């Protein structure tokens, strides 16, 4: 069949909305009619080349839709089911999955690196990759059944789409990777679609002081809704505020979730945490800026920890249900994350709005 999709042909060019060929679902695969997909910064990193992917590619790695048709042997979903599509779906039996760290699934990493994973998309016989193995910037896609999490039919697709990446990655940074404990002090640097969810994760985990840092006044204003107790414009202001609020102890946890990271920002982030402080780097940093500038002796003698972030350390088959439960009972804001809605044809406008700081999350309705 044919489907309309947004394709990136070359680095530095806009998304091209065009008709492409979509293969039938093979064994274990499912045809999905997508209803909504989120405009994640990671797809834009492919456009800028900050995070190279195999081109051409159908973008989009967070989405929600309806199961249309099943390939042979599919037994986890049925036609008509509403589902979230999640890109980092685990194999269940590699050493990391076996150990309960399924976000680090070795098989998923190989797939995301483009190895041993045939894409269902093509045009004129030329294969087109699928972002995250999903390609959700498309009216239809074909994905393995393991990438799907069935959801209740009363959950809106706009909200559900964000559970595939933004919410999980941000919330998990605070809950799983930083391991925020009740009463702790947390600072979140960069409050877009992912950072707002780190604020929410800090709230879920019972943090006391939660400082949002963002130069954008709109995002600072929104931050309170998502669990921030304070909001400031930059890292020095956050450090000064924490000095005052904590009698000099500073934060227990800092999370860097700006749109584009840098080594300098990582070093600055670590100035906001005190003894035994934990820093989590969620932001993708361009490859050219690999060296981290920070006080290493201070890091050592303060017994600090700095770690990366793969998918918030979540187990999607457990945590997407947890997040929907929190949402249903008013403990997690999801509707408020969706700032603007676009058609697929307007996808480049959506990314322009993201760059202009207008959106917590833009969503394309398909
Ligand atoms: Zn993403
Ligand atoms: Zn695995």
Tell me: the pLDDT tens digits for 196-222? 999 999 999 999 999 999 999 999 999
Instruction: Note the ligand closest to the C-alpha atom of 51.
Output: 1
Separation of 100 CA from ligand 2 center, angstroms? 9
Distance CA 71, CA 321 (A): 25
Per-residue pLDDT at 239: 98
- Average of per-residue pLDDT across 322-337: 96
Label residue 290 by pLDDT band (50, 70, 90): low
326 token code pair: 């929190």
pLDDT surpasses 70 at 289: no
Torsion of CA 289, 291, 293, 299, to 10 degrees: 140
Instruction: Note the ligand closest to the C-alpha atom of 101.
Output: 2
Label residue 103 by pLDDT band (50, 70, 90): very high
CATH of the structural domain 171-308, one choice from 3.40.50.720, 3.40.50.2300, 3.40.50.620, 3.30.70.980 = 3.40.50.720
64-75 pLDDT, tens digit each: 999 999 999 999
Separation of 107 CA from ligand 1 center, angstroms? 19
pLDDT surpasses 80 at 304: yes
Which of 205, 144, 139, 129 lies closest to 171, judged by CA? 205
Average pLDDT value for the chain: 94
Separation of 217 CA from ligand 2 center, angstroms? 41
Per-residue pLDDT at 334: 96
Separation of 236 CA from ligand 1 center, angstroms? 28
Angle (CA) 143 146 282, round 5°:
90
Cis preceding-peptide flag for 56 (omega within 30 of 0): yes
**Annotated catalytic sites, by residue?**
40, 42, 45, 61, 165
- Average of per-residue pLDDT across 271-294: 87
Instruction: Note the ligand closest to the C-alpha atom of 316.
Output: 2
Separation of 98 CA from ligand 1 center, angstroms? 25
108-126 pLDDT, tens digit each: 988 877 655 679 999 999 9
Around ion ligand 1, residues with a beta carbon closer than 5 Å are 40, 42, 165
**Contacts (Cβ under 8 Å, ≥6 apart) of 328:** none
208 token code pair: 């006391």
Q: Is there a contact between 76 and 46 (Cβ–Cβ < 8 Å)?
A: no
pLDDT surpasses 70 at 17: yes
Instruction: Note the ligand closest to the C-alpha atom of 134.
Output: 1
Domains of the chain, by residue range, sit at 2-164+334-365, 171-308
Higher pLDDT, 53 or 231: 231
pLDDT surpasses 80 at 306: yes
What's the CATH fold of domain 2-164+334-365? Quinone Oxidoreductase; Chain A, domain 1 (3.90.180)
* CB burial string 186-199: b at 16+ within 10 A, e below: bbbbbbbbbbbbbb
Per-residue pLDDT at 77: 97
Higher pLDDT, 17 or 357: 17
Q: Residue 242: helix, strand or coil by DSSP?
A: helix
Lowest mean pLDDT among 42-46, 246-250, 300-304: 42-46
Residue listed under structure tokens 């910064």: 41
Separation of 268 CA from ligand 2 center, angstroms? 34
Strands (E), the chain: 2-8, 16-22, 29-38, 57-58, 62-70, 82-86, 121-123, 126-130, 140-144, 148-151, 186-189, 210-213, 230-232, 251-256, 273-281, 305-307, 338-342, 361-365
Separation of 329 CA from ligand 2 center, angstroms? 32
Helix (H) or strand (E) holding 41: helix 41-48
- Average of per-residue pLDDT across 1-17: 97
């Amino acid at each position: 069949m044919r489907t309309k999709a947004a394709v990136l042909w070359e680095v530095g060019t806009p998304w091209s909305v065009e008709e492409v060929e979509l293969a039938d679902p093979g064994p274990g695969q499912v045809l999905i009619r997508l209803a909504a997909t989120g405009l994640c910064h990671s797809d834009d990193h492919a456009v800028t080349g900050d995070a190279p992917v195999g081109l051409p590619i159908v973008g989009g790695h967070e989405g929600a839709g309806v199961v249309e048709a099943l390939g042979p042997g599919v037994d986890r979903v049925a036609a008509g089911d509403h589902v979230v599509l999640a890109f980092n779906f685990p194999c269940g039996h590699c050493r990391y999955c076996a150990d309960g760290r399924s976000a680090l699934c070795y098989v998923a990493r190989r797939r995301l690196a483009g190895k041993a994973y045939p894409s269902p998309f093509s045009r004129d016989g030329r294969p087109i990759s699928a972002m995250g193995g999903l390609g959700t910037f498309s009216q239809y896609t074909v994905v393995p059944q393991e990438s799907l999490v069935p959801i209740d039919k009363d959950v809106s697709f706009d909200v559900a789409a964000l559970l595939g990446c933004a919410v999980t990655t941000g919330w998990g940074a605070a809950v799983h990777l930083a391991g925020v404990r009740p009463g702790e002090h947390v600072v979140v640097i960069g409050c877009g679609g992912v950072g707002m969810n780190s604020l929410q994760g800090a709230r879920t985990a019972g943090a006391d002081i939660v400082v949002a840092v963002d130069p954008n006044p709109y995002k600072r204003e929104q931050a309170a809704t998502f669990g921030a107790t304070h909001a400031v414009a930059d890292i020095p202001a956050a450090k000064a505020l924490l000095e005052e609020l904590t009698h000099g102890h500073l934060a227990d946890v800092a999370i860097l979730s700006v749109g584009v990271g840098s080594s300098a920002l990582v070093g600055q982030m670590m100035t906001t945490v005190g003894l035994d402080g934990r820093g989590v780097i969620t932001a993708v940093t361009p490859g050219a800026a690999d060296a981290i500038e920070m006080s290493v002796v201070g890091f050592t003698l303060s017994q600090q920890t700095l770690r990366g972030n793969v998918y918030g350390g979540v187990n999607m088959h457990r945590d997407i249900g947890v997040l929907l439960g929190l949402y249903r009972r008013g403990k997690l804001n999801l509707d408020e994350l969706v700032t603007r809605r676009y058609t697929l044809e307007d996808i480049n406008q959506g990314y322009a709005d993201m760059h202009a700081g207008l959106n917590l999350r833009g969503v394309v309705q398909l």
